[in-house]
Structure 1
Amino acid sequence: MSVNKEIKKITTNTLQKMKSSGEKISMITAYDFSFAKMFDAAGIDVILVGDSASNVMAGHETTLPITLDQMIYHAQSVVRGVDRCLVVVDLPFGSYQGNSREALNSAIKVMKETGGHAIKLEGGENEVESIKRIVNSGVPVMGHLGLTPQSIYKFGTYNVRAKEAAEAEQLKKDALLLQEAGCFALVLEKIPAQLAAEVTASLHIPTIGIGAGGACDGQVLVMHDMLGINASFKPRFLRTYLDLESQINGAVQQYIADVKSSDFPNEHEQY
């Protein structure tokens, strides 16, 4: 009789051990059951149910329109496809800013309704009270500094953040504050590689970079960007591993041609 080997699940503690041992952390976004199942089977460490769903799934220009209930729907779908990796769910814009009680309620709602393992929220010093409150309730929190897309209208641009000394110093301060508040990890987005290296070295919790250089403890990419589904998006930090846009286009055109020519279905493809 075969005995199923117990699947070793990745936890926040696993990520801490990975940082300590120097093993890099791999993270990718996912928004549905099918891709989550594939990514988990491939061995990804962390899946982020990103509010980037607002862009890549719903077609919005920014991440701002997506709601808490929509994020919960995507997270539920992802969790059903996962056996071993850590699932982190973004709190969307408007579900936590400036109100620690609302932040706690949003985090608890996500955890209760999705089965996810942690939440992520953007911001530094201003969000410390919310982070402490959420962590104290037993919910793990991943922070997010640098380019914070929910603040796009404040920044006015998606350009690299913290190039100036004052903003860089504030980011270093924020990183330590978030660690002290109880975050188990930090995403560093689109900041100079040297600054990301300094922040990573200053923290005992892991950093996950996106456009923040190779010194971070891990890396994250949006699945649509990494798989070449969104071929028009070509920032410097992105490495595309597939060209799915053209491959899918070719496959669909072939399917159309086969249907039009009565080649599909053939006699082996019918009952």
Structure 2
Amino acid sequence: MSSRPASDRRVTFADLAEKKAAGEPIAMVTAYDHPSARVADEAGVDIVLVGDSAAMTVLGYDSTVPVTVDELITLTSAVRRGLSRPLLVADLPFGSYEASDEQAVATAQRFVKTTGCDAVKIERGGTSVDRARAIVASGIAVMGHVGLTPQTATVLGGYRSQGRTADEALALCRSALALQDAGCFAIVFEAIPSDVTEAIMPRMQVPVIGIGAGPAADGQVLVFHDLLGIYEGRPARFVKRYAELRQAMIDGVAAYAADVRSGGYPAREHGYAMAPDESARLRELLTAL
């Protein structure tokens, strides 16, 4: 039985707020191309994020830092063409919004005008709060992101959970509240103790989307390639595999290669035929070459 929602109407910001108010969990996934967008759409998720994690999952970089605005715009545009129902959010990549409010607004405007995304996402608190406020003031919706922020993972000590002491957790909570006050329509909590999420949720008026942040969040997000077992390597602790597609893909391609080498593919049914008289005429014409 399909779990796709009965309505095919596009998800709105008001819908997400209503889900939070009603205690209805929000389902969010990443997607980076048209085929994965179609899958997410058919599966009935609420939000699709074109994350800068595309740097590693589909572009082969060793971190999120090198991915460019142009690369993410190309990917976001492909995803937009594949979606009909979910809300579409695009990550602003490292170096594209931090320098000034003007830079942040210009980058966000470029994403919205070029790709048709519904909102953009930025990382961290601090000066990013000012950037979020400026983008919101320009008329563009912003999703915040606190906790483990991959764009600055080196500064945070690598890809590890954040907010594990009371002081660190308090700073994280202050960032989340500041982003909320700046007008973010939702905030991602990544790789933080469940206790922290539970403690701050009564003060969060906008939807909180967790990834490794426990069940108290209003919704959850996982990377498409992680939850389907496509991405190579050891997954993070918070990842739950719902399929093991990478091995199935390897097996399928290996079977194809073996079939080609053995002469089993292509068979007659995989080809096209000419009318017998046209085939005979072609052979006659070829003799005159």
TM-score (norm 1): 0.96
Quote the Cα distance in structure 2 between the aligned partners of 1:234 and 1:181: 33
Corresponding residue number in structure 1 for 2:92: 91
The structure with the larger Rg is 2
Residue 229 of structure 1: how far off its partner (Å) = 0.8
Residue pair 1:33, 1:78 contacting (<8 A) in 2 also:
yes
Deviation at 1:233, TM superposition (A): 2.2
- Between stretches 29-38 and 231-240, larger displacement belongs to 231-240
Shift of 1:9: 0.8
| Contact map agreement 1:98 1:127 (CA 8 A) in 2 | no
Q: Deviations over 1:5-61 (max 9, x none)?
A: 983110111111100011101111101011101110110111000000111111111
Which residues of 2 match residues 1-271 of structure 1 at below 5 A? 7-271=8-272
Distance in 2 between residues matched to 1:140 and 1:178, nearest whole Å: 12
Please identify, of 141-150 and 93-102, the stretch whose mean Cα deviation from structure 2 is larger: 93-102
Unaligned runs of 5+ in 2: 1-5, 273-289
**Preserved contact between residue 200 and residue 206 of structure 1 (Cα < 8 Å):** no
Rounded to whole Å, the distance in 2 between the matches of 1:87 and 1:111 is 10
Whole-Å separation in 1 of the counterparts to 2:31 and 2:169: 30
**Aligned-partner Cα distance in 2 for 1:67–1:156:** 23
2: distance between equivalents of 1:29 and 1:257?
34
**TM-score, scaled relative to structure 2:** 0.90
Contact 1:45 1:86 in 2 (8 A): yes
What is the total number of aligned residue pairs between the two structures? 267
Secondary structure (helix, strand or coil) at the match of 2:18 reads helix
Letter of the 1:174 partner, please give it. S
Residue 114 of structure 1, CA deviation: 0.3
Identity among equivalent pairs (%): 43
Q: How far apart are residue 234 of structure 1 and its match?
A: 2.5
Deviation at 1:155, TM superposition (A): 1.6
Give the C-alpha shift of residue 232 in structure 1. 2.0
Q: Provide the C-alpha distance between the structure 2 equivalents of 1:131 and 1:238, rounded to a whole number of angstroms.
A: 28
CA positional deviation for 1:231: 4.4
Question: What amino acid sits opposite 1:118 in the alignment?
Answer: A
Moved more, 106-115 or 227-236: 227-236
Q: Which runs of 4+ in 1 moved over 3 A?
A: none
Unaligned runs of 5+ in 1: none
- The secondary structure found in structure 2 opposite 1:87 is strand
- Partner Cα separation in structure 2 for residue 244 and residue 108 of structure 1: 36
